[in-house]
Structure 1
Protein backbone atom coordinates (compact mmCIF):
# COMPACT_ATOMS: atom_id res chain seq x y z
CA UNK A 1 0.00 0.00 0.00
CA UNK A 2 2.80 2.42 0.88
CA UNK A 3 4.54 1.68 -2.43
CA UNK A 4 1.36 2.42 -4.37
CA UNK A 5 0.74 5.63 -2.39
CA UNK A 6 4.32 6.81 -2.99
CA UNK A 7 3.98 5.83 -6.66
CA UNK A 8 0.83 7.93 -7.05
CA UNK A 9 2.49 10.91 -5.36
CA UNK A 10 5.55 10.50 -7.58
CA UNK A 11 3.39 10.28 -10.71
CA UNK A 12 1.67 13.54 -9.80
CA UNK A 13 5.03 15.24 -9.15
CA UNK A 14 6.42 14.02 -12.49
CA UNK A 15 3.26 15.19 -14.26
CA UNK A 16 3.59 18.66 -12.77
CA UNK A 17 7.28 18.78 -13.72
CA UNK A 18 6.48 17.58 -17.23
CA UNK A 19 3.81 20.27 -17.62
CA UNK A 20 6.13 22.97 -16.26
CA UNK A 21 8.94 21.95 -18.62
CA UNK A 22 6.55 22.04 -21.58
CA UNK A 23 6.13 25.78 -21.12
CA UNK A 24 7.79 28.00 -23.75
CA UNK A 25 11.30 29.19 -23.00
CA UNK A 26 12.78 25.95 -21.65
CA UNK A 27 15.79 24.56 -23.47
CA UNK A 28 16.13 21.04 -24.83
CA UNK A 29 17.93 19.93 -21.66
CA UNK A 30 14.49 19.79 -20.02
CA UNK A 31 14.04 16.10 -20.95
CA UNK A 32 17.04 15.23 -18.81
CA UNK A 33 15.20 16.78 -15.88
CA UNK A 34 12.17 14.60 -16.55
CA UNK A 35 14.35 11.48 -16.80
CA UNK A 36 16.11 12.41 -13.55
CA UNK A 37 12.75 13.02 -11.85
CA UNK A 38 11.46 9.61 -13.00
CA UNK A 39 14.58 7.83 -11.66
CA UNK A 40 14.33 9.73 -8.36
CA UNK A 41 10.60 8.99 -8.08
CA UNK A 42 11.07 5.27 -8.70
CA UNK A 43 13.89 5.17 -6.16
CA UNK A 44 11.74 7.05 -3.66
CA UNK A 45 8.81 4.72 -4.32
CA UNK A 46 10.94 1.64 -3.65
CA UNK A 47 13.11 2.83 -0.73
CA UNK A 48 10.73 4.88 1.42
CA UNK A 49 8.00 2.26 1.99
CA UNK A 50 10.56 -0.40 2.92
CA UNK A 51 12.31 2.02 5.26
CA UNK A 52 8.98 2.98 6.85
CA UNK A 53 8.16 -0.69 7.34
CA UNK A 54 11.45 -1.26 9.15
CA UNK A 55 10.84 1.69 11.51
CA UNK A 56 7.05 1.66 12.02
CA UNK A 57 6.39 -0.13 15.33
CA UNK A 58 3.65 -0.37 17.94
CA UNK A 59 2.96 -2.30 21.13
CA UNK A 60 0.14 -2.50 23.65
CA UNK A 61 0.68 -3.46 27.29
CA UNK A 62 -1.71 -3.43 30.24
CA UNK A 63 -0.57 0.09 31.13
CA UNK A 64 0.23 1.90 27.86
CA UNK A 65 0.33 2.07 24.07
CA UNK A 66 3.75 2.55 22.47
CA UNK A 67 4.27 3.76 18.90
CA UNK A 68 7.28 4.59 16.75
CA UNK A 69 7.03 6.27 13.35
CA UNK A 70 9.15 8.28 10.95
CA UNK A 71 11.88 7.57 8.48
CA UNK A 72 14.02 10.73 8.54
CA UNK A 73 13.24 11.71 12.08
CA UNK A 74 11.86 9.19 14.54
CA UNK A 75 9.01 9.84 16.90
CA UNK A 76 8.39 7.50 19.81
CA UNK A 77 5.26 8.07 21.84
CA UNK A 78 3.76 6.45 24.90
CA UNK A 79 0.09 6.85 25.79
CA UNK A 80 -0.87 5.58 29.23
CA UNK A 81 -4.21 3.73 29.26
CA UNK A 82 -5.49 6.26 31.77
CA UNK A 83 -5.05 9.06 29.19
CA UNK A 84 -6.89 7.40 26.28
CA UNK A 85 -10.06 9.30 25.38
CA UNK A 86 -11.14 7.73 22.10
CA UNK A 87 -10.11 4.85 19.85
CA UNK A 88 -10.99 5.21 16.17
CA UNK A 89 -10.90 2.59 13.41
CA UNK A 90 -10.64 3.90 9.83
CA UNK A 91 -10.21 2.45 6.35
CA UNK A 92 -9.16 4.79 3.56
CA UNK A 93 -10.03 3.95 -0.02
CA UNK A 94 -6.48 2.84 -0.77
CA UNK A 95 -6.07 0.80 2.41
CA UNK A 96 -9.37 -0.93 1.71
CA UNK A 97 -7.96 -2.29 -1.56
CA UNK A 98 -5.26 -4.06 0.46
CA UNK A 99 -7.49 -5.15 3.36
CA UNK A 100 -5.79 -2.74 5.76
CA UNK A 101 -6.96 -0.23 8.34
CA UNK A 102 -5.70 2.41 10.78
CA UNK A 103 -6.34 2.67 14.50
CA UNK A 104 -6.10 6.19 15.94
CA UNK A 105 -5.76 6.67 19.69
CA UNK A 106 -6.75 10.12 20.93
CA UNK A 107 -5.37 11.20 24.28
CA UNK A 108 -5.38 14.30 26.41
CA UNK A 109 -1.93 15.15 25.03
CA UNK A 110 -1.07 18.38 23.27
CA UNK A 111 1.08 16.31 20.87
CA UNK A 112 -2.07 14.89 19.29
CA UNK A 113 -3.33 11.42 18.54
CA UNK A 114 -1.27 8.27 18.04
CA UNK A 115 -1.88 6.27 14.86
CA UNK A 116 -1.14 2.69 14.02
CA UNK A 117 -1.43 2.48 10.24
CA UNK A 118 -1.25 -0.38 7.78
CA UNK A 119 -2.79 -3.04 9.99
CA UNK A 120 -4.71 -6.02 8.70
CA UNK A 121 -8.44 -5.23 9.12
CA UNK A 122 -8.97 -8.04 11.60
CA UNK A 123 -5.93 -7.05 13.67
CA UNK A 124 -7.05 -3.40 13.61
CA UNK A 125 -10.55 -4.27 14.84
CA UNK A 126 -9.13 -6.49 17.59
CA UNK A 127 -6.69 -3.72 18.60
CA UNK A 128 -9.47 -1.13 18.73
CA UNK A 129 -11.61 -3.45 20.88
CA UNK A 130 -8.68 -4.32 23.16
CA UNK A 131 -7.73 -0.67 23.69
CA UNK A 132 -11.32 0.32 24.35
CA UNK A 133 -11.71 -2.37 27.02
CA UNK A 134 -8.33 -1.67 28.64
CA UNK A 135 -8.89 2.10 28.71
CA UNK A 136 -12.37 1.59 30.16
CA UNK A 137 -10.98 -0.64 32.93
CA UNK A 138 -8.55 2.05 34.14
CA UNK A 139 -9.81 4.45 36.80
CA UNK A 140 -9.73 8.15 35.91
CA UNK A 141 -11.28 10.57 33.50
CA UNK A 142 -8.52 10.56 30.81
CA UNK A 143 -7.62 14.20 31.26
Structure 2
Protein backbone atom coordinates (compact mmCIF):
# COMPACT_ATOMS: atom_id res chain seq x y z
CA UNK A 1 0.00 0.00 0.00
CA UNK A 2 1.53 3.37 -0.94
CA UNK A 3 2.28 5.70 1.95
CA UNK A 4 -0.49 8.12 0.95
CA UNK A 5 -3.00 5.29 1.45
CA UNK A 6 -1.51 4.59 4.89
CA UNK A 7 -1.84 8.25 5.92
CA UNK A 8 -5.40 8.42 4.59
CA UNK A 9 -6.30 5.20 6.41
CA UNK A 10 -4.84 6.52 9.68
CA UNK A 11 -6.89 9.71 9.42
CA UNK A 12 -10.09 7.78 8.72
CA UNK A 13 -9.29 5.43 11.62
CA UNK A 14 -9.05 8.51 13.88
CA UNK A 15 -12.39 9.89 12.69
CA UNK A 16 -14.11 6.50 12.92
CA UNK A 17 -12.94 6.26 16.52
CA UNK A 18 -14.44 9.73 17.19
CA UNK A 19 -17.68 8.76 15.49
CA UNK A 20 -17.68 5.56 17.58
CA UNK A 21 -17.04 7.58 20.77
CA UNK A 22 -13.88 5.53 21.39
CA UNK A 23 -11.32 7.60 23.31
CA UNK A 24 -8.85 4.70 23.52
CA UNK A 25 -9.13 4.05 19.80
CA UNK A 26 -8.41 7.68 19.04
CA UNK A 27 -5.46 7.78 21.40
CA UNK A 28 -3.95 4.67 19.77
CA UNK A 29 -3.71 6.54 16.47
CA UNK A 30 -1.13 8.90 18.00
CA UNK A 31 2.59 8.57 18.56
CA UNK A 32 3.43 8.11 22.24
CA UNK A 33 4.21 11.84 22.46
CA UNK A 34 1.68 12.96 19.81
CA UNK A 35 -0.19 16.24 20.18
CA UNK A 36 -3.88 16.88 19.63
CA UNK A 37 -5.22 20.44 19.37
CA UNK A 38 -9.00 20.48 19.51
CA UNK A 39 -11.60 22.68 17.85
CA UNK A 40 -11.78 24.77 21.03
CA UNK A 41 -8.01 25.20 21.25
CA UNK A 42 -7.52 22.58 23.96
CA UNK A 43 -4.19 20.74 23.84
CA UNK A 44 -3.47 17.17 24.91
CA UNK A 45 0.05 15.74 24.63
CA UNK A 46 0.72 12.00 24.62
CA UNK A 47 -1.59 9.03 24.19
CA UNK A 48 -2.62 8.86 27.83
CA UNK A 49 -3.43 12.58 28.01
CA UNK A 50 -5.39 12.35 24.75
CA UNK A 51 -7.43 9.42 26.05
CA UNK A 52 -8.00 11.18 29.39
CA UNK A 53 -9.08 14.35 27.59
CA UNK A 54 -11.55 12.57 25.31
CA UNK A 55 -13.04 10.05 27.75
CA UNK A 56 -15.22 12.53 29.69
CA UNK A 57 -16.32 14.21 26.45
CA UNK A 58 -17.67 10.90 25.16
CA UNK A 59 -19.08 9.94 28.56
CA UNK A 60 -20.89 13.23 29.22
CA UNK A 61 -21.89 14.62 25.81
CA UNK A 62 -23.81 13.27 22.81
CA UNK A 63 -21.06 14.06 20.31
CA UNK A 64 -21.77 14.76 16.66
CA UNK A 65 -20.32 12.56 13.90
CA UNK A 66 -17.65 13.87 11.57
CA UNK A 67 -18.25 14.14 7.82
CA UNK A 68 -14.89 14.50 6.07
CA UNK A 69 -13.58 15.56 2.70
CA UNK A 70 -9.85 14.92 2.35
CA UNK A 71 -8.35 17.78 0.34
CA UNK A 72 -4.66 16.90 0.14
CA UNK A 73 -2.03 14.44 1.25
CA UNK A 74 1.60 15.44 0.90
CA UNK A 75 4.43 13.07 1.54
CA UNK A 76 8.03 13.56 2.64
CA UNK A 77 10.70 11.15 3.84
CA UNK A 78 8.74 9.05 6.36
CA UNK A 79 6.30 11.90 7.02
CA UNK A 80 2.83 12.64 5.70
CA UNK A 81 0.67 15.74 5.95
CA UNK A 82 -3.08 15.48 5.44
CA UNK A 83 -5.51 18.38 5.05
CA UNK A 84 -9.27 17.92 5.27
CA UNK A 85 -12.50 19.83 5.66
CA UNK A 86 -15.02 18.43 8.11
CA UNK A 87 -18.55 19.05 9.20
CA UNK A 88 -20.42 17.53 12.09
CA UNK A 89 -23.84 15.90 12.06
CA UNK A 90 -25.53 16.14 15.47
CA UNK A 91 -27.14 12.95 16.83
CA UNK A 92 -30.44 12.32 15.07
CA UNK A 93 -29.86 15.05 12.47
CA UNK A 94 -29.73 14.59 8.72
CA UNK A 95 -27.59 17.64 7.93
CA UNK A 96 -24.36 19.10 9.20
CA UNK A 97 -24.23 21.94 11.71
CA UNK A 98 -22.45 24.70 9.71
CA UNK A 99 -21.22 26.34 12.92
CA UNK A 100 -19.06 23.27 13.56
CA UNK A 101 -17.29 23.17 10.17
CA UNK A 102 -13.55 22.91 10.55
CA UNK A 103 -10.28 22.50 8.70
CA UNK A 104 -8.22 19.63 10.03
CA UNK A 105 -4.53 19.05 9.58
CA UNK A 106 -2.62 15.93 10.52
CA UNK A 107 1.09 15.25 10.52
CA UNK A 108 1.93 11.55 10.63
CA UNK A 109 5.22 9.70 10.80
CA UNK A 110 6.17 6.13 9.97
CA UNK A 111 7.24 4.52 13.24
CA UNK A 112 8.58 0.99 13.02
CA UNK A 113 6.42 0.13 10.01
CA UNK A 114 3.27 1.71 11.45
CA UNK A 115 2.03 5.23 10.84
CA UNK A 116 1.20 7.33 13.89
CA UNK A 117 -0.08 10.86 14.34
CA UNK A 118 2.49 13.36 15.57
CA UNK A 119 0.17 16.38 15.40
CA UNK A 120 -3.55 16.73 14.78
CA UNK A 121 -5.27 20.10 14.77
CA UNK A 122 -8.83 21.22 14.13
CA UNK A 123 -9.45 24.87 13.31
CA UNK A 124 -12.96 26.34 13.00
CA UNK A 125 -13.82 27.14 9.37
CA UNK A 126 -15.84 30.22 10.29
CA UNK A 127 -14.76 32.06 7.12
CA UNK A 128 -16.01 35.33 8.64
CA UNK A 129 -15.36 37.44 5.56
CA UNK A 130 -16.31 34.86 2.96
CA UNK A 131 -20.03 34.13 3.19
CA UNK A 132 -20.10 32.42 -0.22
CA UNK A 133 -17.17 30.20 0.73
CA UNK A 134 -18.80 29.33 4.06
CA UNK A 135 -22.08 28.43 2.36
CA UNK A 136 -20.31 26.46 -0.39
CA UNK A 137 -18.31 24.46 2.16
CA UNK A 138 -21.46 23.63 4.12
CA UNK A 139 -23.28 22.59 0.93
CA UNK A 140 -20.36 20.40 -0.13
CA UNK A 141 -20.19 18.69 3.27
CA UNK A 142 -23.97 18.17 3.33
CA UNK A 143 -23.80 16.65 -0.16
CA UNK A 144 -20.95 14.33 0.87
CA UNK A 145 -22.98 13.19 3.89
CA UNK A 146 -26.07 12.62 1.74
CA UNK A 147 -24.12 10.64 -0.87
CA UNK A 148 -22.03 8.37 1.31
CA UNK A 149 -22.64 9.03 4.99
CA UNK A 150 -20.02 10.41 7.34
CA UNK A 151 -16.75 9.01 6.00
CA UNK A 152 -15.32 7.65 2.76
CA UNK A 153 -14.96 3.87 2.60
CA UNK A 154 -11.21 4.15 2.38
TM superposition score category, shorter chain reference: under 0.3
Question: Which is richer in strand?
Answer: 2
Q: Output the TM-score relative to the length of structure 2.
A: 0.24
Higher relative CO (Cα under 8 Å, sequence separation at least 6) belongs to 2
Quick check: which has more Rg, 1 or 2? 1
Question: Which is richer in helix?
Answer: 1
